[in-house]
Amino acid sequence: MVYRQPRVLGMIFLGFSAGLPFLLVFSTLSAWLRDVGLSRTLIGYFSWVGITYSIKVFWAPVIDRLPIPLMTRLLGRRRSWMLLAQIGIASGLLGMAMSDVQTQIGSIALYALLVAFASATQDITVDAYRIEAVARELQGAMAATYVFGYRLALLAAGAGAFYLAESSSWPVAYLCMAALMLVGMAATLVINEPGVAVSPASRELESRVEAMIGIANTRQGLTVRLAVWFSDAVISPFVDFFSRNGRVALTILLLVGLYKVSDITMGVMANPFYLDMGFSKTQIADVTKIFGFFMTIAGAALGGILVARYGLMRPLLLGAVMVALTNLLFALLAVSPPDIWLLALVISADNLSGGIAASVFMAYLSSLTNTAYTATQYALFSSLMTLPAKMLGGFSGVIVDGFGYPWFFIYASATGVPAILLVIYLTGYRADKLVKDVESGKV
């Protein structure tokens, strides 16, 4: 059973550590600031700290190649950066808790930026560890347990922080959240560093890239050493990806950018839709949080099993089709009288399909990386996978206002069609390439 593997189970705790800071610099922080009477304009400015999650690819090469004095020697490349990031998150949360929100709002902003930066750094290292720690057939299971831990953390940082703030205060809530980062720190100290080395082929590629851009063969001098490092850590990961995937490299990147468009586009208008349908906040919370949580976890677990049994491409296609079809269920809900049981059914189907798609897609992205450049390449993919969706999601309200919810959900479903077609094309390409490799004696 794939979920009995120690490293697969360990991803629950690393997923929890990765998910905990996210809401604490977004919606939970917004609630704290609004609760003490700060303006919506100022609260809106705080959302800019989230830019760090979208630009993490810029410092991922540093994490891939730069050792931390003493820590890397004691813990290894991945665990040293992971622990440093977790210490940064806990320190930032502690600083936010110890600052006076009325008189030290600038300090809170800086601490929130520290939390967001350290959290994005932790994401880079956890993703790299997840890919390098196990074989390809276990990547779906690793993604599923990561999603489980991440979702638990969202409950803690969302509902848990609200309960603590209601019974005590917001600073106490953030102190408790800082303490919960000990979960991730303990997991980092317990797990083993993955044994991954740069392959001779990757070394050869780096030498070719260095020669191509005209770096001298000698490694003497600071300028030359910096140029060599930049070539190996920043340029080579991109050259490697395009050289390995040839003429379908751009098609793969297009799929990465489009696979989650349907899911994210629909999600932008989900809560306004529930309210406009007449459901109470309690009903929405009960159904989306309880049903949603368990069905997402079930879908993620099922996705991990499907990847282990059937490989990547067929479950990837299944996830894309299910996400698109469940958006049509929301169109049905939009033209039906408000019914809490129908809402629960639609939410269950949506979260089940979303869980399958999420774990399978994470496994697919993991398969695209070279372990010589894991952090850099996966950071590129994870940044790219949300960019088109966020851009299209910004027009969601315009479509609802102009055409109504039923047509919006049909539109959201249709945005999933390009991803489905791209998966079908890439599946056929892989099959054709395998046949040619067999005929030429490569396999």
What's the chain's length in residues? 443
Tokens coding 155: 């409950």
pLDDT at position 316, please?
A: 95
CB atoms within 10 A of CB 54: 15
Nearest to 343 by CA among 400, 271, 403: 271
Nearest to 127 by CA among 368, 310, 313: 368
Q: Which stretches of 156-260 are DSSP H helices?
A: 161-167, 170-190, 200-212, 222-230, 236-245, 249-258
pLDDT at position 272, please?
A: 76
pLDDT tens string for the chain (443 positions)?
Answer: 678 888 999 999 999 999 999 989 987 888 888 888 888 778 878 878 877 887 898 899 999 888 999 999 999 999 999 999 999 999 999 999 999 998 999 999 999 999 999 999 999 999 999 999 988 788 888 988 999 999 899 989 988 898 899 899 999 999 999 999 999 999 999 999 987 766 777 778 877 887 777 775 555 667 777 777 788 878 888 888 888 888 899 999 999 989 988 888 887 677 778 878 888 767 777 777 777 788 888 998 999 899 988 988 999 999 999 999 999 999 999 999 988 899 889 989 998 999 999 899 988 998 898 888 888 888 888 888 877 776 776 677 778 888 888 998 999 899 999 999 999 999 887 655 544 444 455 54
- Are 302 and 355 spatial neighbours (Cβ–Cβ below 8 Å)? yes
Whether 239-440 and 2-190 are alike in CATH topology: the answer is yes
pTM: 0.81
Class of domain 2-190: mainly alpha
**Residue boundaries of the structural domains of the chain:** 2-190, 239-440
Architecture of domain 239-440: Up-down Bundle (1.20)
CB atoms within 10 A of CB 253: 18
Amino acid at 405: Y
Q: Using CA of residue 381, residue 383, residue 388, residue 392, what is the dihedral sign?
A: positive
Q: What 8-state DSSP symbol labels residue 193? A: P
pLDDT at position 217, please?
A: 56
- Are 215 and 231 spatial neighbours (Cβ–Cβ below 8 Å)? yes
Q: Using CA of residue 246, residue 248, residue 254, residue 257, what is the dihedral sign?
A: negative
**Helix or strand holding residue 352 (H, E):** helix 340-367
Q: What 8-state DSSP symbol labels residue 441? A: T
Q: How far apart are CA 368 and CA 12, in angstroms?
A: 23
pLDDT at position 287, please?
A: 79
Q: How far apart are CA 133 and CA 135, in angstroms?
A: 7
Q: How far apart are CA 214 and CA 291, in angstroms?
A: 58
Which three-class secondary structure state does DSSP give residue 168? Answer: coil
Q: What 8-state DSSP symbol labels residue 196? A: -
